[in-house]
């Protein structure tokens, strides 16, 4: 890579330096939600067409992008900036919690907080912590979490036992018709 | 493989022939549920410790094994013998439907039928068909299906959009505590 850059000094290296400089000076976390954007508030927070009553809590911007790509979510976001982790040394104070709790207290507080955190030990620990903090506030916001179960496509006998077991236990009942 | 078998005629080939002969003569589908076993009724159908009020419908024996391995399900099974498929030419008459409907009509009919079919187009088409047939019976059995959503482990931003979208739409609400 280094040799390629030096060989294509004008065509590749210079535009790369300019782009990185631009990123350094122009892209910052939104002071409301933590999304990285050129404006503050970011494009999501200032978009009045989005459903202001829904707030989706994600651990990082990549997860926000993943949810945004589904095009099925039209509410607001809040980026925590990571998951609680002993091994990586991420403690509650390292998460964007104060601003989240503040958003739930104003008079424009969302009606529902969706915890869209990864189905890993760290993600679920973080979800538990965030949920406790929100309930300790005593506000009126409802808390929900992503549906867990078997993913779309694929075959049952290739699924891990944990997921299949959970899908059996949390099976969905059809309403009689 | 052929050369290996011929080279180890006594040690490998002969036991293999014996095993295959044994399988040919001793292993048959259970006349009740379609599971492959040496006895009829099979070990599941004749096990009175299993919950007789739950009936889990799977498309084949591999899926039954997958669910059995989770150790979270203690009810009975019914193996359809495939999924409806235009490309593979599997029609309703090729599925073990008559015996399923018969099991739902006796006085020992299960209380709940769990459709544990694959989250593929074929699997869900089959699930829809089976559900309609069961409801057309007009019995009292409740019909349920495996929970769908994000699988355990893994990261949100690696999930396919369809699964993530479904997990957002079918999100689970915590009860206020």
Give pLDDT tens digits for A88-146: 999 999 999 999 999 999 888 999 999 999 989 999 999 999 999 999 988 788 999 99
Element (H, E) at B28: strand B28-29
Going by C-alpha positions, the residue among B173, B124, B147 that lies closest to residue A165 is B147
What is the pTM assigned to this prediction? 0.77
Cβ-nearest to B70 among A149, A168, A172: A168
Strand B51-58 versus strand B112-115 pairing type:
parallel
Q: For A85, which DSSP code?
A: B
Please, are residues B141 and B112 in contact by the beta-carbon 8 Å criterion? yes
Answer whether residue A79 shows pLDDT above 60. yes
Answer whether residue A154 shows pLDDT above 80. no
How large is the average pLDDT for residues B143-168? Answer: 87
Please, are residues A138 and A132 in contact by the beta-carbon 8 Å criterion? no
To which residue do tokens 């009175």 refer? B48
User: Quick one: closest CA in B to A62, which residue?
Assistant: B157
Listed by number, the residues of chain B in 32-61 with a beta carbon closer than 8 Å to a beta carbon of chain A are 56, 58
pLDDT for residue B175: 66
pLDDT for residue A175: 66
Please, are residues A77 and A66 in contact by the beta-carbon 8 Å criterion? no
Alpha helices in chain B (DSSP H): 2-7, 14-26, 61-70, 97-103, 121-137, 161-169
CA distance B10 to B64: 35
pLDDT for residue B74: 93
Answer whether residue B154 shows pLDDT above 80. no
Query: Which range is most confident: A138-142, A163-167, B38-42?
Result: B38-42
* pLDDT-derived band at B26, boundaries 50, 70, 90: very high
Residue B81 CB neighbours (<10 A): 16
* pLDDT-derived band at A176, boundaries 50, 70, 90: low
How large is the average pLDDT for residues A12-26? Answer: 92
> In this complex, is the C-beta atom of B155 within 8 Å of any C-beta atom belonging to chain A?
yes
User: Quick one: closest CA in A to B131, which residue?
Assistant: A174
- Lowest-pLDDT choice from B24-38, B81-95, B100-114, B154-168: B154-168
CA distance A1 to A12: 11
Answer whether residue B4 shows pLDDT above 70. yes
Residue B158 CB neighbours (<10 A): 10
- The percent of residues in chain B predicted with pLDDT above 90, rounded, is 67
Cβ-nearest to B157 among A66, A143, A171: A66
The interface pTM score, or ipTM, of the predicted complex is 0.71
> In this complex, is the C-beta atom of A131 within 8 Å of any C-beta atom belonging to chain B?
yes
pLDDT for residue B19: 93
Residue B58 CB neighbours (<10 A): 27
Answer whether residue B11 shows pLDDT above 70. yes
Residue A10 neighbours by CB under 8 Å, 6+ apart = none
pLDDT for residue B75: 94
CA distance B18 to B22: 6
Answer whether residue B5 shows pLDDT above 70. yes
CA distance B176 to A159: 32
Answer whether residue B106 shows pLDDT above 90. no
* pLDDT-derived band at A46, boundaries 50, 70, 90: very high
pLDDT for residue B31: 93
Please, are residues A108 and B127 in contact by the beta-carbon 8 Å criterion? no
pLDDT for residue A169: 85
- CB pair distance less than 8 Å for A63 and B144: no
Backbone angles phi, psi at A104, to 5 degrees: -85, -5
Going by C-alpha positions, the residue among A114, A117, A133 that lies closest to residue A85 is A117
CA distance A173 to B147: 9
User: Quick one: closest CA in A to B120, which residue?
Assistant: A153
């Amino acid at each position: 890579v280094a040799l390629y850059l030096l060989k294509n000094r004008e065509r590749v290296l210079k535009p790369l330096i300019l782009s990185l400089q631009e990123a350094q000076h122009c892209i910052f976390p939104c002071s409301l939600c933590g999304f990285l954007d050129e404006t503050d508030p970011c494009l999501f927070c200032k978009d009045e067409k989005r459903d202001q009553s829904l707030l989706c809590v994600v651990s990082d911007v990549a997860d926000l992008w993943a949810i945004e790509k589904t095009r099925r979510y039209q509410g607001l976001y809040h980026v925590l900036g990571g998951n609680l982790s002993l091994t990586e040394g991420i403690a509650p104070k390292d998460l964007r919690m104060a601003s989240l709790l503040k958003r739930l207290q104003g008079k424009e507080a969302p009606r529902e907080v969706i915890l869209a955190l990864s189905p890993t030990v760290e993600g679920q620990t973080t979800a538990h912590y965030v949920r406790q903090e929100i309930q300790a506030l005593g506000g009126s916001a409802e808390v929900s979490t992503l549906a867990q179960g078997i993913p779309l496509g694929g075959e049952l006998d290739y699924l891990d036992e944990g997921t299949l077991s959970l899908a059996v236990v949390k099976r969905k009942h059809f309403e009689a018709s």
